[in-house]
């Protein structure tokens, strides 16, 4: 068996990656240790730090975004300890589940899945739960396409001396997230979204404040894989030989190395602007077709374009039509938004006008075929 049909991938990750990145995946396998390899690995880490806009530690782990979020929560919050989590969608909710699975005492700022958090809600929660020393939030909620105001949240956390953990899985490399300047203590992203590489790696930055916090725990962090201090120990000790305790996914690292080169060559500022422009154009196009973009334009991340499914239809009606008739793969709603929303990833190589216009054309075709077209 092999994958027979290939679609133009416009889902919110994994993204279609550039040919030169794919080519790295097919390089002959090399050892995951030794000076030459660790130099390349460390260079990959340094490039990732530039994209994270941080000079703190950054670990590249084999895994998915989930692993990174779980590792952060497992490392920062002891069983029974208080943690505040902002929930504005599926991935915010997932973080709550992950924290609960490690027996944290979770306090959820339940904003609803059609909105973003207001800074004052964060301030209130911090006052209401003074025992909480960690707050977790998603930047771009991939399930809604709406971005929480990380800069403002970070400011409030800083005032309360609370550790801030940001799930930047779908945002890092696609929208501004100044990890050091804003004061984000732990930031997580994955290889397959705005970093434009194949899935299989998760990247986690950890501030000195977060390291100190972990080291001051009363109980040791459980396990190794989800233990950021273990990753730090291995990185520090094995810097010039093997900066992790596992067999690294070397091919995926080579691909990430290449994609980070492309990202830095483009430049972060122009890259973020490109995503913003394309995101705005997509919402505009959707609106002109008579469809309703999710949330407000101010909340929109520019990375995932989300709109509501017209009454009387479900998401798969649209997703299947676009796939079958236009060869483009887009996505439906997640968990409690299943059926109700359609999501289009315009990330990395997909954040281009010539990539979203065919999607808008396909949507117009669907609307027209259903007699729903009322162009504005």
List residues near a copy of itself by CB under 8 A: 1-7, 9, 11, 13-17, 22-23, 25-32, 36-37, 39-40, 43, 62-67, 70, 74, 97-98, 101-103, 190, 192, 198-200, 220, 222-227, 245-252, 254, 257, 329
- CA 20 to CA 3: how far, in whole Å? 21
* CB 179, min distance to a copy of itself, A: 22
Query: What's the first-to-final CA gap in the chain, in angstroms?
Result: 46
Question: Least distance from C-beta 193 to a copy of itself, angstroms?
Answer: 9
Which is closer to a copy of itself, CB of 132 or CB of 202?
202
Query: Measured between alpha carbons, how far is 307 from 290 in angstroms, rounded to an integer?
Result: 11
* Residue 165: CB minimum distance to a copy of itself, A: 16
Taking the least distance from each CB to a copy of itself, the nearer of 42 and 55 is 42
Is 300 in contact with 116 (CB distance < 8 Å)? no
Task: Tell the smallest beta-carbon distance from residue 371 to a copy of itself (Å).
Answer: 28
Q: Where are the beta strands (DSSP E) in the chain?
A: 8-9, 57-62, 82-87, 105-110, 134-138, 140-141, 146-147, 163-167, 186-190, 201-206, 292-293, 304-308, 328-329, 331-332, 341-345
Instruction: State the pairing for strand pair 292-293/163-167.
Output: unpaired
* Min separation Cβ 181 and a copy of itself, Å: 27
Of 75 and 88, the one with the shorter C-beta distance to a copy of itself is: 75
Min. distance of Cβ 222 from a copy of itself in angstroms? 6
Please say which residue, 39 or 181, places its beta carbon nearer to a copy of itself. 39
Minimum distance of a copy of itself from residue 130's CB (angstroms): 26
H/E element holding 320? helix 315-326
198/243 with CB nearer a copy of itself: 198
- Rounded Cα distance between 91 and 347, Å, is 18
- CB nearer to a copy of itself: pick between 225 and 372: 225
Residue 325 or residue 368: which is nearer to a copy of itself going by CB?
Answer: 325
Residue 297 region by backbone torsions, left for phi larger than 0, else alpha for psi between -120 and 50, else beta: alpha
Distance CA 170, CA 228 (A): 21
């Amino acid at each position: 068996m092999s994958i027979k049909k290939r679609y133009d991938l416009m889902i919110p990750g994994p993204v279609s990656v550039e040919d030169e990145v794919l080519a790295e995946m097919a390089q002959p396998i090399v050892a995951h240790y030794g000076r030459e390899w660790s130099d390349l690995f460390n260079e990959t880490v340094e490039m990732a730090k530039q994209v994270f806009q941080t000079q703190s530690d950054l670990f590249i782990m084999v895994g998915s975004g989930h692993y990174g979020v779980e590792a952060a929560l497992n490392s920062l919050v002891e069983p029974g300890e208080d943690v505040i989590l902002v929930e504005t969608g599926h991935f915010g909710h997932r973080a709550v589940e992950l924290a609960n699975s490690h027996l944290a005492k979770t306090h959820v700022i339940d904003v609803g899945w059609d909105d973003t958090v207001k800074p004052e809600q964060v301030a209130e929660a911090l006052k209401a739960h003074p025992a909480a020393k960690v707050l977790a939030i998603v930047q771009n909620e991939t399930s809604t396409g709406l971005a929480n105001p990380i800069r403002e949240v970070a400011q409030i956390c800083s005032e309360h001396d609370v550790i801030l953990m940001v799930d930047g899985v779908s945002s890092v490399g696609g929208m501004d997230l100044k990890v050091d300047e804003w004061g984000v203590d732990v930031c997580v992203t994955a290889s397959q979204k705005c970093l434009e590489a194949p899935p299989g790696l998760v990247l986690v930055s950890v501030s000195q404040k977060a390291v100190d916090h972990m080291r001051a725990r009363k109980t040791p962090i459980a396990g190794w894989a989800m233990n950021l201090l273990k990753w730090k120990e291995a990185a520090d000790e094995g810097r010039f030989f093997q900066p992790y305790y596992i067999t690294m996914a070397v091919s995926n690292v080579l691909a990430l190395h290449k994609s980070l080169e492309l990202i830095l060559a483009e430049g972060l500022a122009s890259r973020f602007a490109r995503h913003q422009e394309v995101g705005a154009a997509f919402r505009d196009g959707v609106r002109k077709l008579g469809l309703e973009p999710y949330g407000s334009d101010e909340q929109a991340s520019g990375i995932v374009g989300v709109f509501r499914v017209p009454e009387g239809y479900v998401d798969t009606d649209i997703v299947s039509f676009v796939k079958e008739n236009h060869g483009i793969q887009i996505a439906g709603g997640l968990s409690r938004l299943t059926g109700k929303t359609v999501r289009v990833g315009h990330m990395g190589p997909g954040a281009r006008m010539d990539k979203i216009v065919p999607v808008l054309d396909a949507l117009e075709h669907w609307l027209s075929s259903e007699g729903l077209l009322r162009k504005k």
